Structure 1
Amino acid sequence: MPTQRLRPQALALVIRRTLRQAAPAALGLSALMPLSAMVQAQQVQFNIPAQSLASALLAFGSQSNLQVLYSPQDVEGKRSAAISGAMEPAQALPKLLQGTGVSYQIEGNQATIHAREGGNAVELGATNINSQGLGQTTENTGSYTTGAMQTATKLPLTLRETPQAVTVITRQRMDDQSMRSLDDVVQATPGLRMSAARPANSEYFSRGFPISNLMFDGLPTTYNADWVAAADMAPYDRVEIVRGATGMMQGAGNPSAAINMVRKRPTKEFQGSVTGSAGSWDNYRGELDLSGPLNDSGSVRGRFVGAYNDKDSFQDYAGRERGLFYGITEFDLTDDTTLTVGASNQNDNNNINWGGLPVNRDGSHVGYSRSTNVGYDWSYQDINNTTLFAEIDHHFANDWRLHVAASKNWSDFALQGAVFERTGSTSAEAFRQRVFNQRRDYDQSSYDIYANGPFKLFERQHELVVGASKREVKTSAHGGTVFIPVDNLFAVNPSGIARPTVPDLYDLSEKVEQEGVYVTTRLNIADPLKVIIGARLDWYDNQSTYNEINDGYYTNSDYKVTRNVTRYAGVIYDLDDNHSVYASYTDIFMPQSEQGLGRSIIRPIEGKNYEIGIKGEYFDGALNASAAIFQIDQENRAAESANQRGCIDYTCYEASGKVRTQGIDLELMGALTPNWQVGAGYTYSQTKFLKDANKAKEGSKFDSDLPEHLFKLSTTYTLPGELNQWRVGGNVYSQSGIFNKGTSTFGNYRIDQGSYAVVGLMVGYKVNKNLDTRLNLNNIFDRKYYQGIAGNNTWSPYDVYGDPRNFTLTAKYSF
């Protein structure tokens, strides 16, 4: 990326003592930082939450277009006040600095911050660094990291201040790697595994467990890979990921990770872009993004994003079509109150088979070509997802903030597709296709209200969050199956059979309600020591009714969890200006429907996450590094009771199963130099049964088709000097081997995918200040691998190939 585009990416002012200790790369970075435009005496729309003063000043510089100059020791350990609304920078800065004990001067386009007792601004010499820094919004920053995030605790904390392993996939990183969907983001995120459950459906995993919730602007929704399409990334500024148990923010779920997709917001100045791309297998896509003020004062702002994608597949008789729109409007009701309303629709039409490729009886891969389709050309899977959302944000005079958010989502799913099955016996096996007809409607509602702000205790300023949330999921479904006999593994003709009529054999209705209240506080125990503690109280109610004619897959259920307590604790200690160590405990619960003696519902599964680590923050947050050791215990898993007395017409269970994950997490993301962005991570994670009703499982792998080793790297470098219109980059995804094994009617089987690495390259050329082009080459060595492997050798086997070598050519015109 050319140097002139590196806007808020930079470093805060450091005095000569700090510069003498800084790495040469820091000096190189400072020399190339651009100067902001001269600030006009006009109102600017500010939205800066209370946070560390250094982070707040970076956000202030970004939003005001002022160069903010300061010495790190003058702001170390200080917290800013929150500011929001339209005002001149000279009015906003004193509000931001209220209670910090520092002074400021504004001259021209520069704001200088200094310790009040000194009486004068810091003396600036030839070696001083002018800077703007990173705020929470990542669009137009050119950065692979961000200034602050709220996904872990709702406190606006920097990555270094968050006592868990966290990753932010920024807008720039998504663009550089041509990430079009959440599948692409998960594939690139350290510690996360994207597995193809079927050719059109993806499951996400972290630290040995599936991810069952997705968050949109902090509001959680239920995610089921069978029925929910991967989100398109066009409407989103960034994706924030917190690994481990995240019950404080999500309520019920697995101790895996929180994935929070943060939407693009309207801008105070007009901007727009048109993007077009073309790629392998007739992959064509267009995007339009318009944003800006809707009235003269800028108190009403809007944004529209539209996208259309049509593509075939490397697999025969398969293709996908997607249409998307997203609209959002912000209204400044007063200087302190903003109302946001928005809507989005994503409509996916997939001409693609439901099942993957079968395996041999012993589990070995059949050896199909990657283009093989063992389904039919009439197979389809259509998903239409519509969302309405609204927020009210109010800032009080005492620096407290009230946030109210609501979201309503409707998802309509329709499917007709086939799954290859092996029937008969070992000596006389036969084959058939199970043809599904499925219709399913999801109706999800999420509500959240919280207040956060500072309070003083023992002469120190601390922070508090108090909130309540409600979440409701209603599901209705109906469908059925018919069977088509097949002669052998190679006898399927995708065009050989007309679409059959599949009658409905069952209907299902389900309702899940969750309500919770929560509190989190960040205590400033000493200048280098911060403690975060929190708790959440949940009520959970599940009711499911199933009516069948000739299908036994689903069952009725009715169970509740009352007053479940979720806990959060973290300690962060600053070793120096750049490094912190931390330790944290977090947990999450998952209700179970199994019954114990007297038909009592056994208590929920509890996932407990223990983590210690060290984090580094360099170049004032432009580069972040972390290393963590973690352990997750998932306890109370349902296990069949050895004593069945008293359980006359049902099976008794007890909460005795236990699974443990242990591992390490390493990550580096951000700017090594102004021209060099990097995002890299390595994760080792091993998950085993500690206790189980089947004693033979104890000590064995919990989920053997999840890799223990994951390495991911993406990087972009803008060439120096006269070649700065060019940028080059690459990415690597590498994982260790996985397998599934067991015994069925057809004997023992073992299904393997060995370790592999996939490499991609990128080259970009900025034609002029408006037109940017990029070529992405993926899987350049054409590595043949499976994105997901079959679970057994009998029914519903899903070997799914990963993409062969392919390319995408993109052009973006900004105005």
Structure 2
Amino acid sequence: MERPLATPISLAVFTLFAQGALAQEAVANKPAVLSEVVISDMSIDPLGLDQKERTGSRLGLTPRETPASVTVIDREVFEQRGAQNTQEILQGVPGITTSSAPGSPGAVFYRGFSGGSVTQLFNGITVQYDVIAARPVDSWIYDRVEAIGGPSSFLFGAGAVGGSINYVTKLANRDGNLIEGKARYGSYNDRQLAAGTNQKLGESNYLRLDVNGSAMDGWSDGTERKAWQAAGSWLADLTPQLSSTVALEYQYENVDRPYWGTPVLRPFSGEVGIDNGTRFKNYNSQDGLYKQTVKWGRWILEYRVDDTLSLRNTFYHYDALRDYQNVETYTFNANNTRVVRSNALLQRHDQNLNGNRTELNWNTQIAGLPSNWLGGIDYSLNKQTRYPLSVAGPFGSVDPYHFVTENFFSLPGVSQVYNPDRSNRVTTLALFAENRTFLTSRLSLLTALRWDDIDLEVTNHRTPTATNPAYFERNYKPLTGRAGLIYDLTPAANVYVQYSTAADPPAGILATASYAQVENFDLTTGRQVEIGSKLGFDEGRGNATLALYDITRKNLSMADPSRPGTTIPVGEQSSRGLELAATWLMTNNLRLSGNWALVDAKYDKFVENVGGVGVSRAGNRPTNIPKQVGNLWVAYTPIANLEVGGDLRYVSSRYADTANTVYDDAYTLLGAYAAYTFDKRTRVTARIKNLTDKVYAESFSGSSMMYLGAPRMLDVSIQTAF
């Protein structure tokens, strides 16, 4: 059932304008938003090494000061690259690949891991359901995206063996008054209208409001998407030492007849392919649906006692309702003449999260050595109830090219009744601390520690059985941490080494975990050793980073070799790799940027149940993980006010199954753009993505389906600010 739009709008108006004592953190050092529209400015730094961030550390360090692989992609960069949503922004992070297939729309693959092993945060907050909740969101409301590679549970809690990603929303700031807008139109009737404003009200109040609407007739037959987002915030300097920010967000998305994937040709072995005649076909029901409504609320208080001591408190609320009604699986018959459709799912997710985080920063000395401390406590309650109705089918077969599908509720066994399956309640109390101490003027030690007390309670709303009891609970108390050294070779170059640990759910996600997934299982453990370097070159015209890492995750759930129908927590998975990133202003009007990642990911110990037989997959690569990912961006200003550029993205082949018998080919994507800036305020951009119209897969959905990436797309946009 769709929730009324009046509720979030009324809440926003009431909160932003009626609560005079509420508010947020000061952001006085935030770059002026006006620069967002001047993409011909070659001074932007795509690596973001000198921007303060809170994903790699809460101590307010820059990526250059952090002994870890940290990437910051700010608004200037993803505007220049034409990143229209959060997943397109992530292509700027070394080694990351993504997919927005409806069954796992927030899928991110990072350092050989995926799913719950990669934490995705919204303004530093995890909703503990990332592969669904982190569905791509239009980029207009975001200020930047930050990523840290490798285990980082010591910052954000359970999860994050492969890394953490943080989507940071625009907030009211003290940079002055601004009004900006954007309009875009492109292929498949893809259109966008967006506007934003930052206003100073009196001497101590600042208001920001951003609104974005987009719609598209999808490139897959019958797919239509409509979405809009609103983000409002109010910053109030209550005293010279105390500031407050109230921030609200509302996100709505409706996709009619979502595209779930394209069937691959039989036999399912070796390099797979599709029939080009099915590239744009959509085998979902005529009234297939995905719909999501998300509401966020945050209240941030920051009190600065003096230059050495400050306190920050964040209260947060999240509410989401998601609905699905789709036929999700399509498979060719034995001679590839018919497509068999199966697996109808009516699904509703009702989730809410409430929490409060308190942090204390203290700058002091230890034995005369400068030392920065942070300590805090985080408490949250996450509740989710799911309402699934699943009918396996099959529902007959259709001609691959000429067919008409049914209405969803005409399928046998399907009715529009939402019966709850189970409710998961996850209560988390966390204590955390970080420290940076300068051992010498060039050598610093960074340490972090986090202890979580996690209570999982699951209520079964269906008939209890031995494997699905009416109620069960589990408690976990992981302790995770990091220790790193960073040494400045010169003012422009350093080297670092770090060791970090993480804890993951044994299988699935705690917010949806079943009895079978957590019965007598503790959290899995992960550890990483990483060495790297960050350096500037050519008298500051270039920056580069290098990271080498080794990650091992233990205690994975796997089939018992002697009893394949049961699982035991003794599996092991590892990855080791190399990541390079660089940007270079070769001349005053030519910039090159790029990154390249190489990863060797494998199951070290893993047994899979295949038809009642335990089969070892040791030595195999996990599904959807490429060995190599590379990106290159070129920006050139041949004459004043005109910028032209292009991009190249390479992704090597990936396996569709844990047996590593089905794989796809590597692919390369090309793009190009031209942008003209009229008066340092107004810019018109023409852009082409997937210039060669390459047919490629974002991801596999098992061995029989591929979720294809978008075909060639053209768009023209105009953006202005004053």
Give the alignment's TM-score, normalised by structure 1: 0.76
8 Å contact 1:464–1:519 — kept in the other structure?
yes
Spell out, residue by residue over 1:704-731, the C-alpha distance to the aligned partner (whole angstroms, 9 max, x if none): 3210100012232333xxx211011211
Quick one: structure 1 residues 143 and 688, their matched pair in 2 at CA, closer, same or farther if it must change by over 3 Å?
Answer: closer
Amino acid of the structure 1 residue aligned with 2:686: L
Partner of 2:710: 803
**Displacement, 1:587?**
1.2
SS in 2 for 1:222: coil
Amino acid of the structure 2 residue aligned with 1:731: D
Verify: 1:605 aligned to 2:519, yes or no.
no
SS in 2 for 1:462: strand
Partner of 1:783: 694
Partner of 2:664: 753
8 Å contact 1:595–1:602 — kept in the other structure?
no
Verify: 1:187 aligned to 2:91, yes or no.
yes
Gaps of 5+ in 1: 1-44, 50-58, 66-132, 645-649, 744-748
Match of 1:591 among 505, 512, 518: 505
Partner of 1:665: 579
The count of residues paired between Structure 1 and Structure 2 equals: 669
Quick one: structure 1 residues 403 and 619, their matched pair in 2 at CA, closer, same or farther if it must change by over 3 Å?
Answer: farther
8 Å contact 1:475–1:510 — kept in the other structure?
yes
> What CA distance in whole angstroms lies between the structure 2 residues aligned with 1:267 and 1:576?
34
Quick one: structure 1 residues 156 and 410, their matched pair in 2 at CA, closer, same or farther if it must change by over 3 Å?
Answer: same
Spell out, residue by residue over 1:548-590, the C-alpha distance to the aligned partner (whole angstroms, 9 max, x if none): 4799998877443443210110000111121111000111101
Spell out, residue by residue over 1:307-336, the C-alpha distance to the aligned partner (whole angstroms, 9 max, x if none): 110111111101110111110000101111
**Range with bigger deviation, 253-262 or 380-389:** 253-262
> What CA distance in whole angstroms lies between the structure 1 residues aligned with 2:552 and 2:375?
28
SS in 2 for 1:148: coil
Quick one: structure 1 residues 220 and 490, their matched pair in 2 at CA, closer, same or farther if it must change by over 3 Å?
Answer: same
Partner of 2:138: 232
Quick one: structure 1 residues 600 and 706, their matched pair in 2 at CA, closer, same or farther if it must change by over 3 Å?
Answer: closer
Spell out, residue by residue over 1:109-158, the C-alpha distance to the aligned partner (whole angstroms, 9 max, x if none): xxxxxxxxxxxxxxxxxxxxxxxx99xxxx99844224222211201212
8 Å contact 1:711–1:734 — kept in the other structure?
yes
Amino acid of the structure 2 residue aligned with 1:607: G
Quick one: structure 1 residues 254 and 557, their matched pair in 2 at CA, closer, same or farther if it must change by over 3 Å?
Answer: farther
Partner of 1:218: 124
**Displacement, 1:262?**
1.8
Matches within 5 A, 1:487-498: 487-488=397-398, 490=400, 493-497=403-407
Matches within 5 A, 1:718-729: 718-719=637-638, 723-729=639-645
8 Å contact 1:195–1:204 — kept in the other structure?
yes
Partner of 2:3: none
Partner of 2:247: 342
Quick one: structure 1 residues 684 and 441, their matched pair in 2 at CA, closer, same or farther if it must change by over 3 Å?
Answer: same
> What CA distance in whole angstroms lies between the structure 2 residues aligned with 1:287 and 1:560?
46
**Range with bigger deviation, 577-586 or 360-369:** 360-369
Partner of 2:395: 485
Q: What is the aligned-residue RMSD (CA, Å)?
A: 3.5
Quick one: structure 1 residues 227 and 569, their matched pair in 2 at CA, closer, same or farther if it must change by over 3 Å?
Answer: closer
Amino acid of the structure 1 residue aligned with 2:427: E
8 Å contact 1:666–1:683 — kept in the other structure?
yes
SS in 2 for 1:156: coil
> What CA distance in whole angstroms lies between the structure 1 residues aligned with 2:137 and 2:587?
32
8 Å contact 1:481–1:505 — kept in the other structure?
no
> What CA distance in whole angstroms lies between the structure 2 residues aligned with 1:381 and 1:549?
28
> What CA distance in whole angstroms lies between the structure 1 residues aligned with 2:515 and 2:179?
60
Match of 1:282 among 189, 208, 211: 189
> What CA distance in whole angstroms lies between the structure 2 residues aligned with 1:801 and 1:223?
24
Gaps of 5+ in 2: 1-23, 508-512, 609-613
Quick one: structure 1 residues 282 and 438, their matched pair in 2 at CA, closer, same or farther if it must change by over 3 Å?
Answer: same
% identical equivalent positions: 19
SS in 1 for 2:154: helix
**Displacement, 1:742?**
7.1
8 Å contact 1:343–1:387 — kept in the other structure?
yes
8 Å contact 2:671–2:691 — kept in the other structure?
yes
Amino acid of the structure 2 residue aligned with 1:265: L
Verify: 1:773 aligned to 2:684, yes or no.
yes
Partner of 2:544: 625
8 Å contact 2:316–2:354 — kept in the other structure?
yes
**Displacement, 1:224?**
3.7
> What CA distance in whole angstroms lies between the structure 2 residues aligned with 1:757 and 1:286?
31
Match of 2:230 among 325, 328, 331: 325
> What CA distance in whole angstroms lies between the structure 2 residues aligned with 1:254 and 1:47?
29
**Displacement, 1:243?**
0.8
**Displacement, 1:792?**
2.8
Partner of 2:456: 542
Partner of 2:260: 355
**Displacement, 1:406?**
1.8
> What CA distance in whole angstroms lies between the structure 2 residues aligned with 1:262 and 1:596?
35
Partner of 2:294: 385
**Range with bigger deviation, 149-158 or 416-425:** 416-425
Matches within 5 A, 1:459-608: 459-482=368-391, 483=393, 485-488=395-398, 490=400, 493-497=403-407, 499-500=409-410, 501-502=414-415, 503-504=417-418, 507-548=421-462, 558-592=472-506, 601-608=520-527
8 Å contact 1:354–1:418 — kept in the other structure?
no
8 Å contact 2:183–2:718 — kept in the other structure?
yes
Partner of 1:38: none
Quick one: structure 1 residues 319 and 600, their matched pair in 2 at CA, closer, same or farther if it must change by over 3 Å?
Answer: closer
